[in-house]
Structure 1
Amino acid sequence: MAKYLRTDAENGILTITLDDPDASVNTVSPDWVTEMTQTIEAARDDEAITGIIIASAKSGFMAGADLKFILGEMQGMSAQDAFAFSQRATAMHRALETCGKPVVAAMCGFALGGGYELALACTHRILADDAAAVVGLPEVNVGLLPGSGGTQRLVRMIGVDKAMEALLEGRSYTPATALEMGMVDQVVATDKVIDAARQWLATEPDPTRPWDVKGFAIQQSNGLLKQSTAGIFTMVTAKLRSKYGDNYPAPISILACIFEGMQVPFDKGLLVESRHFAHLMTDPVARNIIRTTFVNKGLAQKGARRPDGFERRKVGKVGILGAGMMGAGIAYSAALAGIEAVLLDTDQATADRGKDWSRKVIDKLVARGKTSEEKGAVLLDRIHPTTDYQQLGGCDLVIEAVFEDTAIKADVTGKAEAAMPADAVFASNTSTLPISDLAKAFSRPGDFIGLHFFSPVDRMALVEIIMGQETKPETLARAIDFVAQIRKVPIVVNDSRGFYTSRVFQTFIHEGMELLREGVAPELIENAAKQAGMPVGPLAVIDETSIELPLKIVRQAEAEDPSYRRPTSADVMERMVDGLGRPGRKGGAGFYDYPEGGKKHLWPGLAEEFPVAESQPDVEEVKRRLLYVQSLETVRCLEEGVLTHPADGDLGAVLGWGFPTWTGGTVSLIETVGLETFVEECDRLAEAYGDRFLPPEGLRARASVGEGFDWS
């Protein structure tokens, strides 16, 4: 009995309607492939059927395989299993396009991944002229490639140049662009899609695909210079390796599928694709990317850490104390979500400048056609700059975003509490100061919580929610609801100095400075970090944030915590700030020089201040040190209870400070290396470079019994 499909035959035309009863979106699954194969075979053998239309009962045509399903299938899958997994859907698509009947994909809404591969296997593609209608093959974004003919059909349909763009960039194409690219054959009004499909079938088109006709040749490149096919692909491969290094295998595999597929008949090209797909399916990179940036990110957005038993609530009005860059960004994000935002500062001019920041963001979006002036004006009307604390009346939430100074924070907290409703939540946007200490300035510590945003707020997805010692579960639930309301990703951590993200990120910059102190060449430090997948090197990033800030944190920790161990990198910071007057970019000079009108570059004087050793470490060793030190600190946060779930550690690392996506995050990196191997390597690093690399006992115990992290 059919489950995923509904079929209807009329006047020789079979309409196959995709309609998964258990989901709001049609997705590819083994059962669907089986049912589709049976339907195609029956249509092939039915002489009364002269043409086939494939449509959808959903608002979208079809997506690819559900990523949770893919992630589950990856566990323990062999290369042979992955190859067979690809070949099943490939065979179904091949059966469709060789069934001897013309087939039309009548697409309303999106057709992405496996959904667009289904359309590619049809003889003709019609797309609705609708804002929600897009087509594309985004598999590269999850570390995979189209595994059921996408790399082979698309290059034969639209040529090498355009196919490489679509496959390597993983973009979604609007109807007009898709028609121009040749990715669809017709674009018609939404209510005319089925009629257009019937009209095309009425012309009695030849169902034979061009690549099944003897003498077919793939369109060669026009935009990549006139050179041999091998020359083109050599050049593109070099560009990809320059961009991704060896960290992301999917782009190189996609390119190989195109190049190798061009040299062989179509059916052999499908085998080539399945082999490369099998390699990626069994490589940990795809698993890491899918688990963290799609599955766990999606679960976090839906409230994975939200305590049960509390009604979901929305914020109608939010107060923001401090109209600097951070406060202005929070106000913009709130207004974008339809929330009234009171933006308060000590003088009206500063508050107005905070609102002007949002105006500049909107002006750029309008100039790029991303929004309209009317929508921008409505958003700006929701932001109310003021110096009057009484304007906080009626706020459901007040967020403090002033300087990282306990006394200043306590002052504005007291003033805000006097004006805000008695049932409103108060949050501090601190990145380092303990929430439990800040909560002492608030008479209702159970309603006090940390909301650590990341700069620039309008572009950074993460919000680190920090539970104080007395924070109530209901307050956490309301904070998670707010973060979801402004469409950001929450992770939940418990109170401690530096919390999670600031604490672990510090290890990256300190290790970079320690390498410099040891005599490792600055260029090697910076390039190794980027080769490992970090967005920038540790010396560059500390220049941007200022060398003074981590030095202040070290000195504050030394003064307040007798057990705190001063990092040797503090010597480097003191020399740079106190001795040389080079505090970072804001001060005009740091580890880098910033010539006016020129490109920044490493300061040549570093070689004199920190002499380069004659013997330099291997680049892999530098990469290991920079990555492993962050993973170790994450495990310490887990074992100390600062982090409550490894998924939050990974999300915080990838979304918060740009830990390499290919790793899946600081915890997933350990699993990628293997716990036993990771512990052995860390013991070696500890012996060579210091106790900071010693694995925590909990991690050592897990490794000794072959136990992984608990992701449940």
Structure 2
Amino acid sequence: MASKQSTFDIEQRDDGVAVVRMDVPGEAHNVLKAEFADEFEALFQRLRTDSAIKAVVFASNKPGSFLAGADIKLFENVKTPDEVVALAEQCQGAFHQIADLKVPVVAAIDGACLGGGLELALACDARIAADTPKTVLGLPEVMLGLLPAGGGTQRLPALIGIAAALDLLLTGKQLRPGRAKKVGILDQVVAPEALIDAAAARALVLAAGKTPKAGLLTGGVAGLQARATKLALEDNRLGRRVLFSQARKKLQSQTRGNYPAPERIVDAVEAGAEKGPEAGFAAEARFFGELVFTDESRALRHIYRATEDLKKETFAPAGTKARTIDNVGVLGAGLMGAGIATVTIDKAGLPVRLKDKDDTGLAAGIGHLRAHYDKKVKRKQLSRFEADVALNRVTGTTNYRGFAGCDLVVEAVFEDLDLKHRMLADVEANGREDTIFASNTSSIPIGDIAARAKRPENVIGLHYFSPVEKMPLLEIIATNQTAPEVIAASAAFGKAQGKTVIVVGDGPGFYTTRILAPFLNEATRILAEGVSVKAVDAALTNYGFPVGPMTLLDEVGIDIGTKVGPILEKAFGERMAVPGESAKMIEAGWLGRKAGKGFYDYEAKKKNGKRPVNADLYDLMGVSGDAGMDATEIAERCTFMFLNEAAHCLGEGILSEPMHGDIGAIFGLGFPPFTGGPFRFADRLGIKQVVARLDAFTDQHGARFEPAPILRDMARARARRKQRFYN
């Protein structure tokens, strides 16, 4: 007999197990909400007082979603840290009730078990998960600049040990069932159809007092080593002091002090380990209250909301029917082309016809795909049979046979307009009248490519980032002639590939290449002023960028920048001019990592684990490399060039709104996430202050720093809301 509630449905089984099924009304996924307090209390009152209940199983009625954590809107309207602390204590209290039930409780996990969902499961006596692709477990709050506030910082270390828990808490990793069982979060992994019965059986075993004991040799030698490490580091105060000290040192090297949440996570775990659970839970709630109001968390939550909004965006007028894309062609089997083919097959599940000019290039591209799937098999993410099925979705060719069946063809050939024109003509000759032609160019205006098209409405830009399999952004470039149904189809295709999609206007460099170029150029100019390579890189990584600009140039290839540079300089003048030092490096053959030398020397041995600088670089540039410059000035000169060019793009209509620019900069180029992106960062600094700083740089270094007109106008505005990109 089932007793139906708004969120919780209790099924009383004949064996005495009460199965509590969660189903949050009106939501695609189960999420925690503040208004559940009364429902939780009524549920636990029933579970505590019904003498017929021998054990409890928590499960979900939503396929693919056990409990995805707290609704992010839960604390968006709070005014003070104390209000947030109260919400955290309320959540902790609910999960304490699970832990304190006199009958055993087992979590039956099918689908996403994240954040508060995992915290609920940790409060249970055991956890069993269904072996399905959608089942993942993790505490990703750190990605929002927060920490778990339902007891996760206390219960996870108690379950799997401090070191293993910190690894998950500080990274926000999401684990598949097999891995979660290996680290000790799960007790059992079963087929989805057996989940409830297996959870009920485990609950009854616990109720009978027959708790399975782990054998002494469980885990073999690795298990013994893990237990020895735990005894040495975690089970005594001196060892814990070493462990937490090492964690903080590692943290500082990774975050450079730009993210407060990881530090507070370590503090909360340490409070529980040293002062006991009560102190740990209190610290967790208190820190959560502090973090919600930090600029960093606000920025990271802004990014999260923006990406959620982009998932729903069609980028086309209401009522537009997107063209169907069932078959895809890719021209060019190099790293980009092979990468595009890989995500098309792996994520979108679509067949790909891969073309290259010769068998050697084609073999390399298909080898790239095979290596991708071999790695998945090795990591047990796929069976060999599943990998082979996926690989059968790619076919190769050195001609255009089979392209008549392609709904979309993506060219990923060299940045040469004549070559791209030939590709376009070939596709129009060998494809259908409605075949979409997409260019993966990083700088050539799509309008220039479409100028030779018989059907320009079918031409669009799909700008991927390398490596395609890892980089999350897809920048779509539409011309004034691109058909709305082509834009909508391309956006849907990108999302199916697992990409975060933005659509920008056409022009030289579009958005991402255009804003990156002056950033890298300025770094090279600073180098030419005598500042060392390592000082420039360190200034920007300390500022929050994932890699320094000199390292990035080496990875991309210094010659690539000089190919893009003339296109941008012709369109935008001095502020896009490539420094002459880059040409000198190309003449010397120092093209970056691929050539063995660039700003760094990739042929020399590392010193103390660090890559040595190219010893001849400073002589080539005619500088000493030991000029002093304040790190903040280095970082601001580069970053303000980035920010200013983003403002130019918005003012000129390349961007339709600031949010797209923030997501493009962060997901495509590594702009520091804790800032929220260039536009939110400008708001945080204050537009008047940004303009003043750009003016100062203009006086010192030239017209390339002249503030974008939109910034000038905003700085002069009298109304505060007009002095911000976001209200």
Deviation at 1:709, TM superposition (A): 5.3
After superposing the two structures, state which structure 1 stretch, 331-340 or 280-289, moved more.
331-340
Aligned-partner Cα distance in 2 for 1:355–1:480: 26
Residue number in structure 2 paired with 1:6: 9
Aligned-partner Cα distance in 2 for 1:205–1:701: 73
Aligned-partner Cα distance in 1 for 2:108–2:362: 53
Determine whether 1:591 maps to 2:599: yes
Q: Which amino acid aligns with 1:261?
A: G
Aligned-partner Cα distance in 2 for 1:610–1:536: 26
Q: 1:17 aligns with which of 11, 21, 25?
A: 21
Aligned-partner Cα distance in 2 for 1:156–1:397: 52
Q: 1:652 aligns with which of 654, 660, 664?
A: 664
Change (3 A) 1:566 1:169: closer
Deviation at 1:575, TM superposition (A): 3.0
Determine whether 1:128 maps to 2:146: no
After superposing the two structures, state which structure 1 stretch, 162-171 or 534-543, moved more.
162-171
Aligned-partner Cα distance in 2 for 1:570–1:296: 36
Deviation at 1:101, TM superposition (A): 5.3
Q: Deviation digits for residues 204-249 of structure 1, max 9, x if unmatched? A: 799xxxxxxxxxxx99944649844323211211111112111222
Structure 2 gap ranges (5+): 212-226
Q: Which amino acid aligns with 1:398?
A: V
Residue number in structure 2 paired with 1:74: 76
Deviation at 1:566, TM superposition (A): 5.8
Give secondary structure in 2 for the equivalent of 1:456: coil
Residue number in structure 2 paired with 1:196: 201
Q: Deviation digits for residues 235-289 of structure 1, max 9, x if unmatched? A: 2111111121112222211100011222324223211111111122111222322
Change (3 A) 1:570 1:284: same
Q: Which amino acid aligns with 2:67?
A: M
Q: Which amino acid aligns with 1:650?
A: D
Q: Deviation digits for residues 436-493 of structure 1, max 9, x if unmatched? A: 1110111111111111122222222222111113212122112112212323222101
Deviation at 1:512, TM superposition (A): 0.7
Aligned-partner Cα distance in 2 for 1:181–1:358: 30
Residue number in structure 1 paired with 2:310: 300
Residue number in structure 1 paired with 2:573: 564
Change (3 A) 1:636 1:510: same
Deviation at 1:637, TM superposition (A): 0.6
Residue number in structure 1 paired with 2:224: none
Residue number in structure 1 paired with 2:512: 501
Structure 1 gap ranges (5+): 207-217
Q: Which amino acid aligns with 2:549?
A: P
Give secondary structure in 2 for the equivalent of 1:523: helix
The answer (yes or no) to whether the contact 2:110–2:135 under 8 Å persists in 1 is yes
Change (3 A) 1:695 1:279: farther
Residue number in structure 2 paired with 1:209: none
Give secondary structure in 2 for the equivalent of 1:490: strand
Change (3 A) 1:440 1:146: same
Aligned-partner Cα distance in 2 for 1:76–1:44: 33
Change (3 A) 1:464 1:110: closer
After superposing the two structures, state which structure 1 stretch, 427-436 or 99-108, moved more.
99-108
Q: Which amino acid aligns with 2:720?
A: G
Change (3 A) 1:179 1:541: closer
Deviation at 1:494, TM superposition (A): 0.6
Q: 1:577 aligns with which of 576, 586, 593?
A: 586
Determine whether 1:56 maps to 2:65: no
Q: 1:623 aligns with which of 615, 624, 635?
A: 635
Change (3 A) 1:405 1:256: same
Change (3 A) 1:575 1:135: closer
CA RMSD of aligned residues (A): 3.1
Deviation at 1:431, TM superposition (A): 0.8
Give secondary structure in 2 for the equivalent of 1:16: strand
Give the TM-score of the pair, scaled to structure 1: 0.89
Mapping of residues 377-456 of structure 1, within 5 Å = 377-456=388-467
Aligned-partner Cα distance in 1 for 2:368–2:626: 49
Aligned-partner Cα distance in 2 for 1:386–1:162: 48
Give secondary structure in 1 for the equivalent of 2:258: coil
Change (3 A) 1:489 1:133: closer
Change (3 A) 1:522 1:380: same
Mapping of residues 117-156 of structure 1, within 5 Å = 117-122=119-124, 124-131=125-132, 132-156=134-158
After superposing the two structures, state which structure 1 stretch, 434-443 or 453-462, moved more.
453-462
Aligned-partner Cα distance in 2 for 1:18–1:554: 56
Change (3 A) 1:223 1:245: farther
Q: Deviation digits for residues 297-322 of structure 1, max 9, x if unmatched? A: 23323434243222244322222222
Q: Deviation digits for residues 17-46 of structure 1, max 9, x if unmatched? A: 322121232111101233213432465466
The answer (yes or no) to whether the contact 1:50–1:101 under 8 Å persists in 2 is yes
Deviation at 1:675, TM superposition (A): 3.6
Q: Which amino acid aligns with 1:18?
A: M
Q: Which amino acid aligns with 2:551?
A: A
Q: Which amino acid aligns with 1:584?
A: G
Deviation at 1:390, TM superposition (A): 4.2
Aligned-partner Cα distance in 1 for 2:228–2:366: 52
Change (3 A) 1:61 1:219: farther
Aligned-partner Cα distance in 2 for 1:345–1:187: 44
Deviation at 1:516, TM superposition (A): 0.9
Give secondary structure in 1 for the equivalent of 2:241: helix
Give the TM-score of the pair, scaled to structure 2: 0.87
Aligned-partner Cα distance in 2 for 1:446–1:51: 63
Residue number in structure 2 paired with 1:642: 654
Mapping of residues 128-527 of structure 1, within 5 Å = 128-131=129-132, 132-185=134-187, 189-196=194-201, 198-200=203-205, 202-203=207-208, 221-222=230-231, 224=233, 227-292=238-303, 294-336=304-346, 337-527=348-538
Aligned-partner Cα distance in 2 for 1:556–1:5: 61
Q: Deviation digits for residues 352-406 of structure 1, max 9, x if unmatched? A: 3332332233233333333333333333333232232343212111222222111
Deviation at 1:646, TM superposition (A): 1.8
Deviation at 1:495, TM superposition (A): 0.7
Aligned-partner Cα distance in 2 for 1:634–1:350: 37
Residue number in structure 1 paired with 2:39: 35
Residue number in structure 2 paired with 1:107: 109
Deviation at 1:567, TM superposition (A): 5.1
Change (3 A) 1:676 1:281: farther
